[in-house]
Structure 1
Amino acid sequence: MEPFFTVLLSALFLAERPSPWIVSSLVPIVGGVALASMTEASFNWIGFGSAMASNLTNQSRNVFSKKFMDKEEEALDNINLFSTITIISFILLVPVAILMEGVKLTPSYLQYTAASHGLHVRELCVRLLLAGFCLHSYQQVSYMILQMVSPVTHAVGNCVKRVVVIVSSVIFFQTPVSSINSLGTALALAGVFLYSRVKRLQRKPKVA
C-alpha cells in the first residue's frame, strides 16, 4: 500500500497529482507484491494496523524529506537531511530503547543470546554492528535515490524490493515457491513495466 499512501500525501503536501494512468499502474504492483508475499505471513488485525501505520509514517517522512530537498531557499541535500534525521532519531529513541530493552545489553543476557545461537559474544556483537551498518547504508542510498526521483517512484521501487527479496531467497536459499507466489512476482514486475512506460510517455513533449 506504500505507493497509494505516497500518492495521497504527495497530493496533500507537494501538490503533485498523478494522472489516472499512473494510479492505475500501481494496482498490479501492490496486488502482485501481496500475492508474492501471501504464503509468508498470517493475517491479524494488529499486524495489519501496524503495517498501515508503518506505511503512513514512512511515506510521510519521504514526502516531507522531498519537500525539504526541493525548497528553493535553504534546501538540504540528501546527506545533510539524512544525517539530521538520524541524529534527532538517535536522541529521541535511545532513552526509549534503554527503558524497554536495556536488560538485553547486560553481559549475562548477551552471553545467553550468543550461546543459544552457537556464537561467542564477540561474534554476536560483530554481526549486530554489521547489521546496523548495512541498514544505515541502505537508508542512505534510499535518500540519495529519493533526491533524484519523485516520492511515488521511490515508493514503487521500495514496494518491488520485496519481490527482489523473495526471488533472492529462492535463488540462494532454495525457498519453495507456490504458483501464487510466481503469479504475484510476474504481476508486480508487469506493473513496474507499465508504470515506467506511463511515466516515459508523460515526459515526452507534445509536438505542435
Structure 2
Amino acid sequence: MHRRALGFVLAPVGGRSLRSGVVHPSHHLTRATCCSEIGRRRCRRMRTPRPTDRTRCRPLRMAASDPTASSAAGTPEPTAKAVAQRTVLALAVACWYAANIAFNIVNKMLMKFFPLFITITAVQMLSGAAISLFLWTTRLHRFQRATAADLRKIYPLALAHLFGNLFTNYSLRQMAVSFTHVVKASEPFFSVVLAKMFLPGAAFTWPIYASLVPIVVGVVMASITEVSFNWPGFLTAVASNVSFQSRNVLSKKFMKGVSFDDVNLFGWISCLAAATAAPLALLCDGARYAAVWGAAAAGGGAARLLLMLFSCGVLHYLYNQFSYIVLQRVSPVSHSIGNTVKRVAVIASSVLFFRNPVSSQNMVGTAVALAGVAVYSRVKSQRGGNSNAPSKG
C-alpha cells in the first residue's frame, strides 16, 4: 500500500511506473534519491522563518537610518558637472568685479591728463576687437563665422555698447567715480519710465512702483551733498543706463536665437563698435591729438600715457567679457542684482583710492538707492513685474 501511494508521486522511470508492481533495482536508487530530496526541501521550509511584521519593516528602518539611501531617495547631491559650473560662475563674477574696479580707477586717472573721452572710448573698442582677433587667429578660442544676417542683428548691440561707454566716459570725466555709479544705479527707474512711455500696454505691479521710491530718494539725497555734481555728467550717466539696458536685453534675446558663444558674440560686437568709433574719434578729436600728445611728452608722461591707454583698453575688454559670461549663465534679474553689488564695490574702492569727500547724507543716500535696486530686482523676480512688457530673456 505504501509502495502504491509513492508510485503516484514519482515520475515514470524507464518507461514503467511503480503502479505496475514491478520495481527494478535502479528504481530503488531513484526512490531513495527522491525521498531524500523531498526531505531536504521539507527541512528547509521548517528552518526558514516566516516574515513577520517586524522583519518586513526592517529593510525600511535600515533605509531610513542609512544616509546613502536617504540621499538617494531624496534630493540628489550635486554632480561634478554642477559643481564645476558653479565654480566657473563664481570665478567669472569675481573677475568681473576686479576688472571693473581696476578699470574705473585707471580710466579716471587717464581722464585727468587726457580728456579726449571719444578717443579713449575708441581705444577701448579697438582693444576689444584686437584681443578677439588674437584669440581667433591663434586658435585659443574657436572662431564662429558671422553671416551678413548675423551682423545686421549684432550691429544694434554694438551701437548700444558704443554709446553706453561714450556716455559713461563723459560722465566719469565730469564727476567723481563714486557719484557716477550712484546715478547709474538708478537704471531700474528709467527702465520702467521708458517702458511706460514707449511700450504700448506695458503694465507693472504696485510693488515694482514702490521699490522705485527708495531709488529716487537715495539718488536725490546723494546728489544734494555731492561736491562734483553737474548736470552734463548727471544726464550722460542716465543716458548710459538706457544704452546698457537695451544692450543687455537685446544680447540676451540674440543669444537665444543663434549659436554664438559669449566670446564670439562680444568679439563681433567689439569689431563693429570699433569700426564705428575709430572714424568718429578722428572726426571729433583728430585736431587736438598733436597738442595733447605734446603736453604729455613735455611733462615726461608719454610712456605713462601709452601704458594707461593700453591698460584701460585691456581692462575694459576683460570686465565686459566677464559680464557677458555671467549674463549667459544667469537670468537678467540675477545679472542686475550682481551689477548692483558690483557698484557697491566700485563706489567703496573709488572713495578709498581717490579720497573723495563723502558726507553722511551722501552715504545714506547711496545706501538707500542701492537697497531700492536690490528690492526692485527681488520683487521683479518673484512677481514677474511687467506682465505685458517684452521678456528680458
Q: Scaled by the length of structure 1, what TM-score is found? A: 0.72
Q: Which residue of 1 aligns with 2:346?
A: 165
Equivalent residues of 1:5, 1:59 under 8 A apart: no
Contact 1:6 1:63 (8 Å CA) reproduced: no
Distance verdict in 2 for CA 1:9–1:32, change over 3 Å: same
Match of 1:112 in 2: 295
Does 1 or 2 have the higher relative contact order (CA < 8 Å, sep 6+)? 1
Give 2:247's aligned residue.
61
- Higher mean alpha-carbon deviation, 192-201 vs 178-187, is at 192-201
SS of the counterpart of 2:367? Answer: helix
Q: Structure 2: how far apart are the matches of 1:10 and 1:148? A: 25
Change (3 A) 1:140 1:172: same
Q: Give the count of matched residue pairs.
A: 196
In structure 2, stretches of 5+ residues that fail to align are 1-185, 385-393
Alpha-carbon distance change, 95 to 130 in structure 1, aligned in 2, over 3 angstroms: same
Pair 1:194–1:153, CA change in 2 (3 A): same
Counterpart of 2:91 in structure 1 is none
What secondary structure does 1:70 align onto? helix
Residue 285 of structure 2 corresponds to: 101
Asked whether the equivalents of residues 221 and 361 of structure 2 are also in contact (C-alpha less than 8 Å), the reply is yes
2:229 to 42, 52, 65: 42
1:123 alignment partner in structure 2: 304
Q: Judge conservation of contact 1:29–1:189 (CA < 8 Å) in 2.
A: yes
CA distance 1:111–1:47, change in 2 (3 Å) = closer
Q: Is the alpha carbon distance of 1:168 and 1:34 closer, same or farther for their aligned partners in structure 2, counting shifts above 3 Å?
A: farther
CA deviations on 1:47-102 (whole Å, 9 max, x unpaired) are 5554443322221122111111222xx24332222111110011111111112212
Between structure 1 and structure 2, the one with the greater Rg is: 2
Moved more, 78-87 or 174-183: 174-183
Q: 1:128 to 1:149 in 2, by over 3 A?
A: same
* Structure 1 CA distance for aligned equivalents of residues 343 and 377 of structure 2: 18
For normalisation by structure 2, the TM-score amounts to: 0.42
1:138 to 319, 322, 345: 319
Residue 2 of structure 1: how far off its partner (Å) = 1.5
Would you say the 8 A contact 1:32–1:185 is kept in 2? yes
Q: 1:47 to 1:149 in 2, by over 3 A?
A: same
Unaligned runs of 5+ in 1: 204-208
Q: CA RMSD in A?
A: 3.5
Q: Is the 8 A contact 2:327 2:335 kept in 1?
A: yes
The share of aligned pairs that are identical, in percent, is 45
Change (3 A) 1:36 1:78: farther
Q: Which amino acid aligns with 1:42?
A: F
2:218 counterpart (2, 18, 32)? 32
Given the alignment, which residue of 345, 359, 364 partners 1:183? Answer: 364
Structure 1 position 131, deviation (Å):
1.1
Equivalent in 168, 181, 187 of residue 2 of structure 1: 187
Q: Is the 8 A contact 2:214 2:368 kept in 1?
A: yes
Q: Which amino acid in the other structure matches residue 24 of structure 1?
A: A
The answer as to whether partners of 1:7 and 1:17 remain within 8 angstroms in 2 is no
Contact 1:30 1:159 in 2 (8 A): no
